[in-house]
Chain A
Amino acid sequence: DIQMTQSPSSLSASVGDRVTITCQASQDISNYLNWYQQKPGKAPKLLIYDASNLETGVPSRFSGSGSGTDFTFTISSLQPEDIATYYCQQYDNLPRTFGQGTKVEIK
């Protein structure tokens, strides 16, 4: 299985801050990476697919980049409603695997 390692596991930032999360794959996955947001008690929501494509209806403050083994997810200006856990997911190989998640909190 391809291992996905996210960092940090949690972070605290102020409203308006730029927030960056990284995801590293255990092998080259090209750009076959998605990012999800999960709020407490809710199902995950797709934000970014193919590493950098914004899903329809998702605010433009969310963005993704990277290819190969190293990927970055950015919130350009953190909003109170962005409090959630964020997961990366690779789909280069089955089984599709997720990172362990990054919990984002407001400082």
Chain B
Amino acid sequence: QVQLQESGPGLVKPSGTLSLTCAVSGGSISSSNWWSWIRQPPGKGLEWIGEIYHSGSTNYNPSLKSRVTISVDKSKNQFSLKLSSVTAADTAVYYCARNRKGVVDDIWGQGTMVTVSS
């Protein structure tokens, strides 16, 4: 079955760039699904960041669009998130997820905690 695993630095300095990768196993990233990033600040709710299709098409949350880049690497069966100019407000658990047919985030990674601090 498809599994997702996030990886990347757990600590990022303010004004720096947060970079995470999501490795997809048990299935192809080139399937008919979108691939999402979602985050959750400590003790708070869920926020959709954006998504990518294997063709490279992307959709971003307008609230983050100026700072977000999501990319795909089909050769490595993975996709990535970059969030620039980070502040403490970007401290959160970051999840990657498979978005089934553009409808539902049905498979999630375990999440990775990223703290923005000097």
Contact = CB atoms under 8 A, between A and B. Distances in A.
A and B associate = yes
Interface of A: 1, 32, 34, 36, 42-46, 49-50, 55, 87, 89, 91, 94-101
Given A46-B106, A55-B106, A98 B62 contact: no
Interface residues of B, number: 19
26 contacts: A1-B62, A36-B105, A42-B110, A43-B95, A43-B108, A43-B110, A44-B46, A44-B95, A44-B108, A49-B106, A50-B104, A87-B45, A89-B46, A89-B105, A91-B103, A94-B61, A95-B48, A95-B59, A95-B60, A95-B63, A97-B48, A98-B47, A98-B48, A100-B45, A101-B45, A101-B46
B103 to A, nearest CB: 6
Nearest to B62: A95
Interface of B: 45-48, 59-63, 95, 102-106, 108-111
Contacts of B105: 34, 36, 44, 46, 89
B109 A43 contact: yes
A38 B64 CA distance: 24
Contacts of B104: 34, 46, 49-50, 91
Contact of B46 (A32, A45, A87): A87
Contacts of A32: 103
Question: Secondary structure of the A side of the interface?
Answer: loop
Contacts of B46: 44, 87, 89, 98, 101
A100 B43 CA distance: 11
A47 to B, nearest CB: 10
